[in-house]
Amino acid sequence: MSDAISEFGSDEWLPDLHKLCIEVLKNLQKHPGGRFLCFRDDYIGTKEKPGVIVKEYHESLRILKKEIYEEFASTSVVDRHKIIALYIRSFIKHPPFFLDIPVETDNKDRCLNTVLSNEYLSVAYLAVVFKAWDNRYDWELQIDQRYKFDFIKLLYHYKKDINKFDALALSNIICLIEKHFFKKI
C-alpha cells in the first residue's frame, strides 16, 4: 500500500461505503425513475486502488488541513464532521449515482429521490458515520423532513457550482445536525 493511501484512516471505511451505496441504490430504485438509476462502483474503488471519489477526498483533505494547520498539516487530524463534509463534496463533484434513461423511453417519470440521488446518499452517509464513530448503533438520525430537504437543497446548490462549497461551513452544519437530530432510539 502506498503512503498516500495509508495516511487516511477513513480509507478503512471504503468497503462499508460501497455497501452503503448499494443499499441506498436499492432503496432509490423503488422510487419513480429508480429503474434508470445506476451506480459507478469504480468511483469509490478500494483501499489499494482508490476511485475518483476517494482521490478527491484525499486531495481536498490535504488542502483543508494545510489551510487550517499550515506547517503542522501532515501530523494533524480532523474531526468526523469535516471528514463527512469532504466526502459529501466528493459525492457532489463526482456523483456515484447517475440516471441512464434511454432516449426512446416514453415515460421518463422521475422523483426528487432519484434526480437528487447523490444528495440523498450524502444524508445516508452522515447518518452511518454518526452511528459508527462512537459505536452508537442504538441511535438514529431523526431529522425533520423540512430540514432534511433544506439540507439537500444546500447540497444541490453546491452541485450547481462546486466552487461555492465551503467545507468548514458545511462541517459546522453537520455538527448541528448531529447535535439536534441524532438521537437514541
Digit-coded pLDDT (tens) for 119-132? 999 999 999 999 99
**Position 72, amino acid:** F
For 21-63, the pLDDT digits (tens) are 999 999 999 999 899 999 999 999 999 999 999 999 999 999 9
Grid cell 447540497 — which residue? 155
Domain that holds residue 138: 3-184
Predicted confidence at residue 109, as pLDDT, reads 78
pTM: 0.91
- Rg, Å, the chain Cα set: 17
7 pLDDT above the threshold of 70: no
How high is the mean pLDDT of the chain? 92
Under DSSP, is residue 6 helix (H, G, I), strand (E, B) or coil?
A: helix
155 vs 13 pLDDT, higher one = 155
* Average of per-residue pLDDT across 65-87: 95
Q: All 3 cell numbers of residue 1?
A: 500500500
Least confident of 1-10, 53-62, 163-172: 1-10
The structural domain count of the chain equals 1
Predicted confidence at residue 105, as pLDDT, reads 74
Q: Helices 117-133 and 14-28 meet at what angle, rounded to 10?
A: 130
Q: Using alpha carbons, list the distances in angstroms from residue 60 to 14, 56, 86.
A: 17, 6, 7
3 pLDDT above the threshold of 90: no
Q: Using alpha carbons, list the distances in angstroms from residue 143 to 98, 124, 155.
A: 25, 11, 16
* Average of per-residue pLDDT across 178-182: 96
Distance CA 141, CA 38 (A): 26
1 pLDDT above the threshold of 60: no
Q: What are phi and psi of 103, to 5 degrees?
A: -60, -35
Please enumerate in sequence order all residues whose Cβ is within 8 A of that of 165, keeping only pairs 6 or more positions apart, or say none: 89, 92, 158
142 pLDDT above the threshold of 80: yes
**Position 7, amino acid:** E
What pairs with residue 182 in β-bridges? 141
Distance CA 140, CA 165 (A): 27
